[in-house]
Structure 1
Amino acid sequence: MSFLDARSQYRRAEEGNLPELSDPHQIVSVTLRELHKSLAVLMAAQSDRQRYPAPHITKGLTAVYVLQSSLDFEKGGEIADNLFRVYEFARLQLIAAFQRDKGAQLGAAHGYIGEILSAWQSMPTKD
């Protein structure tokens, strides 16, 4: 999947609320932020013993798909493998929330994605 395909897919899920992006670094950054935000909303619902908001489950799953499919395992090696595992953990927790599992580990997923987001935002971009 190209970054343009990923951007288009995420835009459809977000219903056009994403800014126009062409830089792959920015696309990943926005996708990570949106995943982090959706996990936070789901965590809040979990702690308040409320129903999980379905739009945030959908957005989260779409973001995970975009992030996983944008990984380059040949160039990324072990880092790509580890990122895939973290994204897969987040995906499984989102699925647990979709299944209304009160034991979904959304806090852990939120924390892991937050660490990746922080590291991603601190990386210099190529000009």
Structure 2
Amino acid sequence: MSYGKKRSGIEQYGKVAAESEVAYASPHRLVQMLMEGALDKIATAKGCIERKDLEGKSRHITWAMSIVNGLRSSLDMESGGEIAANLDDLYTYISRRLVDASVQNDPQPLAESIDLLLEIKGAWDAMPEDVRQMRGSKLSADQAAT
């Protein structure tokens, strides 16, 4: 078996495993998965820039931007209050930095984006279990902060 076929099998397994997790994940876990995906794509794009792989850089930055936009669109601006507004601003800033990295072929804005997402994810991961278990498709940021 060639390396390409092994790689394809591993990718298929990973895709099925991710789809299975999504099917049973809580809204809280889905947001965690989106953040993990964005972090992964940004780190991969950073490596692509360092290797001068422009096609890979573009593909992974585009994918990361899509995920960040998904996170942004999941914010409940009505009941989320100041926290949701701040996250909206942060996600907008991260999107701009991803564009900067792509246009300038500069890994520094990607490193900054990773740092910001890690801070957001750290707060999300630290959310108390009783808040994580709340039902509903959208968890308001105000509820998460209490």
| TM-score category, normalised to shorter length | 0.7 to 0.9
The percent identity for this pair of structures is 28
Counterpart CA distance in 2 for 1:21 and 1:67 is 19
- CA positional deviation for 1:89: 1.5
Counterpart CA distance in 2 for 1:63 and 1:82 is 18
Within 5 Å, give how 1:64-83 maps onto structure 2. Answer: 64-83=68-87
Does the 8 A contact of 1:42 with 1:52 survive in 2? no
Amino acid at match of 1:108: E
- Unmatched 5+ residue regions in structure 1? 1-14
Does the 8 A contact of 1:46 with 1:52 survive in 2? no
Rg larger in structure: 2
Equivalent position SS for 2:40: helix
Amino acid at match of 1:40: A
Amino acid at match of 1:126: Q
Partner residue, 1:120:
124
- Unmatched 5+ residue regions in structure 2? 1-14, 135-146
Q: Compute the TM-score of the two structures, normalised by the length of structure 1.
A: 0.74
Amino acid at match of 1:79: I
Counterpart CA distance in 1 for 2:25 and 2:36 is 17
Q: Compute the TM-score of the two structures, normalised by the length of structure 2.
A: 0.65
Partner residue, 1:26:
29
Partner residue, 1:36:
39
- CA positional deviation for 1:80: 0.7
Aligned to 1:106, which of 85, 110, 119? Answer: 110
Does the 8 A contact of 1:52 with 1:97 survive in 2? no
Aligned residues: 112
Counterpart CA distance in 2 for 1:55 and 1:25 is 27
What is the alpha-carbon root mean square deviation over aligned residues?
2.3
C-alpha spacing 1:52/1:94, structure 2 compared with 1 (3 Å): farther
Amino acid at match of 2:54: R
Bigger mean CA deviation after superposition, 24-33 or 116-125: 116-125
Counterpart CA distance in 2 for 1:43 and 1:52 is 12
- CA positional deviation for 1:97: 3.7
Partner residue, 2:6:
none
Does the 8 A contact of 1:21 with 1:27 survive in 2? no
Deviations 1:2-56 (A, max 9, x none): xxxxxxxxxxxxx774432442111111001101111111222334444262331
